[in-house]
Amino acid sequence: MRQFERRNGRLGTSIVILAAGEGKRMNSTLPKVLQPLAGRPLLQHVIDCAHAVGADDICVVYGHGGDQVRAAFADVPVRWALQAAQHGTGHAVQQAMPETPDENQVIVLFGDVPLLQADTVKGLRDASGTDGVGVLTVDMDDPFGYGRIVRENGAVVRIVEQQDASENEQAIVEINTGVMCCPAASLKQWLGQLSNDNSQGEYYLTDVLAMAVRDGIAVHGVKAANQVEVMGINDKKQLAEAERALQRRLVDELMIQGVTFADPNRVDIRGELSCGNDVFIDVNAIFEGKVTLGDGARIESNNLVRDSRIGPGTVIHSNCHIEHSSTGSHCEIGPFSRMRPGAELADRVKVGNFVEVKKSTVADGSKINHLTYIGDTTIGSGVNIGAGTITCNYDGANKHRTVIGDGAFIGSGVQLVAPVQVGKGATIGAGSTITKNAPDGQLTLERGKQTSIEGWQKPVKKS
């Protein structure tokens, strides 16, 4: 058994996350705890909370879809406990206890309660003390169907389920969330005393509280700030409600930092968004993965930005798709542009409408204004790329690189067949297909002879 040191005089913390449920109401082949919320699985949010609490030991109790669940978190530092058959929450926690140090406090969380915040969990742990028991509660607008918290002199004495509650007890609006904190040694003892003599034939974790009261252990009820934080996710409707609640929380945090949103309700952050000062984000912007927006960046409507860094003062016009890319300062992209992985723009670069850039670097001040594909290309500074230009980087088997020197001018409708180099200050005439290197400072043309055919007749549509 691993041993954990005390931190600042307190006991170590073991967090047990119950994630074995099937989630039938999701009507999905994907296990419930892998359903996506803000771009990450439900379980990931709970694990992140556990790490933020400062847990020494995190155990995930898994069951349904176990191979999928473990594979999704193969690189996450947690230990796993299998609940092969589901016999209730008490039985689930039992699976995690053999490797849990006796001297730790144990906090039980749920893999389908993803909005719980670390400060709330810390408050529950602190209120429990080293020997007491803590249970997280919340006041519900409509508590019907939930276990009610019964207190005497402020202390929790029992939890009464809806079907067993008296008329007075049914009037109680404080309900049990299921999240609790117990000393590990005591919890092991109480779990061993659980009975499944109930209508469901299951071992209920909530029965532990009555055992604690019986043994003279203080049970502290700690209220969560709101219902949203402790909401469980059981179906796609609740998943959508949680998505909107989390998005609003993320946007509120960014607005406090000074980010301006045209409409806080029409933005989706599916990952980590970091913003500098005076950033503006218009409606229907989607951010996925890790995205950084520099000071004064402006994201117009209907943009998707994924795992990218946008430099200070850069403007992303409407309807662009930017993925695994970066820009320097004061660039301009779009509208209707696509930046594919490996697109790297320096400062003051212009990428205009219907331009696609992939695995290419573009140096300071260059412009790619219209209807152009740039792939596997190195573009120098001060270059102008004309409309309809294509870098032909693929020969059917391999990719090849195009290099365009500083100050070059590429006319409209040009095909640059890689591997090829265009020299510094060179000009490529419109409509050319360039297959050989173009020298510095010269005009290079490649055009077939233009011919007009007398007496030619337009084809007629057949009836």
> What number of CA atoms fall less than 13 Å from residue 5's CA on the CB side?
2
- Residue 287: strand pairing partners: 269, 305
C-alpha separations of 461 from 301, 454, 458 in Å: 44, 21, 10
**Nearest-angstrom CA–CA distance, 154 and 420:** 80
Give residue 162's pLDDT band: very low, low, confident or very high (50, 70, 90): confident
Q: Are 58 and 47 in contact (CB under 8 A)?
A: yes
Q: For 32-39, what is the mean pLDDT?
A: 96
13-230 under CATH 3.90.1150.10, yes or no? no
Give the pLDDT mean for 325-349.
98
Q: Which residue has 């990719």 as its token pair?
A: 399
Average pLDDT over residues 96-111: 96
Residues 251-266: tens digit of each pLDDT? 999 999 999 999 999 9
**pLDDT reported for residue 310:** 98
Q: Tell me which residue of 24, 218, 187, 12 sits closest to 90, measured CA to CA.
A: 187
For residue 160, name the pLDDT band (cuts at 50, 70, 90): confident
Q: Has residue 94 got a pLDDT over 50?
A: yes
Pick from 95, 84, 86, 60: nearest CA to 74: 60
Q: What H or E segment, with its residue span, contains residue 82?
A: strand 79-82
Write the DSSP string, 356-400.
Answer: EEES-EE-TT-EEEEEEEEESEEE-TT-EE-TT-EEE-B-SS-B-
Q: Got the DSSP string for 141-190?
A: SS-TTSPEEEEETTEEEEEE-GGG--HHHHT--EEEEEEEEEEHHHHHHH
Phi/psi-derived region of residue 20, left when phi > 0, alpha when psi is between -120 and 50, beta in every other case = alpha
Give the pLDDT confidence of 400-442 residue by residue, as tens digits: 999 999 999 999 999 999 999 999 999 999 999 999 999 999 9
CA distance 269 to 281: 12
Tell me: domain 239-444, CATH 3.40.50.460, correct? no
Side-chain-side CA neighbours of 285 within 13 Å: the count stands at 25
Q: What is the pLDDT of residues 368-412, one digit of tens each?
A: 999 999 999 999 999 999 999 999 999 999 999 999 999 999 999
User: Which two tokens mark 404?
Assistant: 């365009």
Share of the chain residues as helix, strand and coil, in percent rounded to the nearest 5: 20, 35, 45
Residue 3 pLDDT grade (very low, low, confident, very high; cuts 50, 70, 90): very low
- Going by pLDDT thresholds of 50, 70 and 90, the confidence category of residue 10 is low
Residue carrying the six token digits 């996925």: 288
User: Any idea where the domains of the chain sit in the sequence?
Assistant: 13-230, 239-444
Which entry of 51, 64, 87, 370 is annotated as an active-site residue? 370
Of the chain, the percentage scoring pLDDT greater than 70 comes to 98
- Stated pTM of the model: 0.89
pLDDT at 11: 65
Identify the three-state secondary structure at position 24.
helix
Q: Which two tokens stand for residue 221?
A: 């009820």
- State mean pLDDT over 59-72: 95
Is 370 catalytic? The answer is: yes
Instruction: Inform me whether the pLDDT recorded for 455 exceeds 80.
Output: yes
Same fold, 13-230 and 239-444: no
Lowest mean per-residue pLDDT among 111-120, 162-171, 359-368, 419-428: 162-171
pLDDT at 219: 92
Torsion of CA 330, 335, 340, 344, to 10 degrees: -10
In the numeric block, which tokens belong to residue 37? 């919320």
Segment 64-90 mean pLDDT? 94
CA angle 350, 354, 306 (to 5 degrees): 75
Q: Are 342 and 324 in contact (CB under 8 A)?
A: yes
133 Cβ neighbours under 8 A, 6+ residues apart? 180, 181, 182, 183, 186, 208, 209, 212, 217, 218, 219, 220
Q: Taking residues 14-39, what's their average pLDDT?
A: 95
pLDDT value for 228: 94
pLDDT band at 1 (very low <50, low <70, confident <90, very high): very low
Q: Could you read off the pLDDT of 278-325 as tens digits, one per residue? A: 999 999 999 999 999 999 999 999 999 999 999 999 999 999 999 999
In angstroms, rounded to a whole number, what is the distance separating the alpha carbons of residues 23 and 156? 31
